[in-house]
Amino acid sequence: MTSDASSAVPATAGQNPCCGTAEQAAAADACCAPAAKADAIAEGAGCCGPAATVGAGERLPVIVIGAGPVGLAAAAHLHEQGVPFLVLEAGDQVGASVRQWSHVGLFSPWRYDIDPAGRRLLTAAGWAAPDEQELPTGADLVDTYLEPLAKLPAIAAHLRLGARVTAISRVGADRVRTVGRADLPFVVRLADGTEITGSAIIDASGTWRTPNPLGVNGLPAHGEPEAADLIDHALPDVLGTDRDAHAGKHTIVIGSGHSAANTLLDLARLAETEPGTRITWAVRGGSAQRAFGGEDADELPARGALGSGLHTLVDTGRLDLVTGFGVHTARTSGDTITLIATDGRELTADRVVSATGFRPDHSIAGELRLDLDPILGCTRTLAELIDPNQHSCGTVSPHGYRELGQPEPNYYAVGMKSYGRAPTFLMATGYEQVRSIAAALAGDYDAADDVQLDLPETGVCSVNLVAGQAGRLGPTGNAVRAEPGVTGLLSLTATGGSCCS
């Protein structure tokens, strides 16, 4: 570019172009028009700064945050749509959060765990698909599906590991600016200070790193931070790497969701071979009935077996059940921890497992215009479809880019994060979310609006439908396979408040 302002690349309507010199750029508040910015970057202009990531004539990529199942599905669908993309993963491997619960078995078969676009890409590369009816573990999901998908040239060339996003904004504008806002590129800042520009954001970062606290009122219990060394969050590997912390010890499990049930069943297996292993299960509600789920009525047998197995542990006295226990205070004394309820009751143990669910963290989008439901922390439109006060796991409607849209154009939170605090997320739903969004970003709105799901019957979720089954026995041990809600994988999230959790 020359220093003659008249030779600058024309701007789109209502925008300033990039100017030829840094001085002219500063005077004109330049770098506002995406096309002008791309040309300026290619020609070495200084006005657009270090955020430059695109050459002349190229489209800015869609930035996908997170390389878990839903993030990689988004990449696969964007590839099929011919939309450039870049996947940013905070961990040093894909599926970083899934690897944290790799020991856990899923209760949804492979048929529902593989995104259709991902399957098509893998099949074209000669991938040997697993048996659709088998139940994978988290490790199987990573090794058999996520890793091979991420290694395909179509994905690998656009994947950055160790890239933790710390903030998102618009180039040259904060949240207040309105004029021309929708035409400004997004700027994504990483932990190392790098800034990357993009045309749209698909945030599939999940909620694994932001678990709910122990406190019954949604706040950390008094003393909880100081007791952190004796508190595990959801799904510790009590039969593997975490065995020594629980073998021959007394563990309190807080929560009434699938994650709590899975841990309780594993602890019961541990107790069979490790004398002195004790288990206390504390729930906030007045009954544990909701945790038993559909049992024999569940269309997914492994999920039904989870509830039946848990029911058996209670009926046979292999654990101590404490109801109506809302944690107010956590206090340590040496190697023990005492939980104090709001009514003054106390439970003392060697270890606590906090399986109280997860919540989204929207702090990285603080400079974007988000309109979040005040209860769930998802979009207001989606909240009406997934509110656990009104919906169970079987009554959530399919939804896509329209329901996930925000006042900030082309920003979408997807997957578990899209559901806020609602515990009714299905991973297959996440796959359909990103298919719809990718079609919309490609301009194919007919496909984007054609939102459909192929799911099995979800079985009984309502607690009043399983009342009276207290005498029913169910399997325990290896036959019980539970899916953690953080990834959703066909079932629901591990929270402590929903009939479906």
Contacts of 273 (CB under 8 A, 6+ apart): none
Per residue of the chain (501 residues), what is the pLDDT tens digit?
A: 333 333 333 333 333 344 444 444 444 444 444 445 444 444 444 333 333 344 445 789 999 999 999 999 999 999 999 999 999 999 999 999 999 999 998 878 899 999 999 999 999 999 999 999 999 999 999 999 999 999 999 999 999 999 999 999 999 999 999 999 999 999 999 999 999 999 999 999 999 999 999 999 999 999 999 999 999 999 999 999 999 999 999 999 999 887 898 899 999 999 999 999 999 999 998 877 766 654 444 444 455 556 678 888 988 999 999 999 999 999 999 999 999 999 999 999 999 999 999 999 999 999 999 999 999 999 999 999 988 877 655 567 889 999 999 999 999 999 999 999 998 788 899 999 999 999 999 999 999 999 998 765 544 332 222 222 222 222 222 222 333 333 333 332 232 232 222
Which domains, from first to last, does the chain contain?
5-51 (no CATH), 62-209+359-443 (3.50.50.60), 225-357 (3.50.50.60)
Single-letter code of the amino acid located at 6: S
Q: Which residues pair with 322 in a beta bridge?
A: 282
Query: Nearest to residue 417, comparing CAs of 61, 60, 188, 74?
Result: 74
Q: Pairing mode, if any, of strands 346-349 and 336-341?
A: antiparallel
pLDDT at 287 (0 to 100): 73
Are the C-beta atoms of 98 and 69 separated by less than 8 Å?
yes
Task: Name the helix (H) or strand (E) containing 149.
Answer: helix 147-151
Describe the strand order of the beta sheet including 186-190 as a list of residue ranges: 165-170, 186-190, 195-198
Rounded-to-integer distance, Cα 250 and Cα 243, Å:
12
Are the C-beta atoms of 204 and 64 separated by less than 8 Å?
yes
pLDDT at 397 (0 to 100): 81
pLDDT at 353 (0 to 100): 98
Token duo for residue 299: 């269309």
Rounded-to-integer distance, Cα 283 and Cα 291, Å:
10
Are the C-beta atoms of 61 and 69 separated by less than 8 Å?
no
Rounded-to-integer distance, Cα 449 and Cα 456, Å:
22
Q: Strand, helix or coil at 438?
A: helix
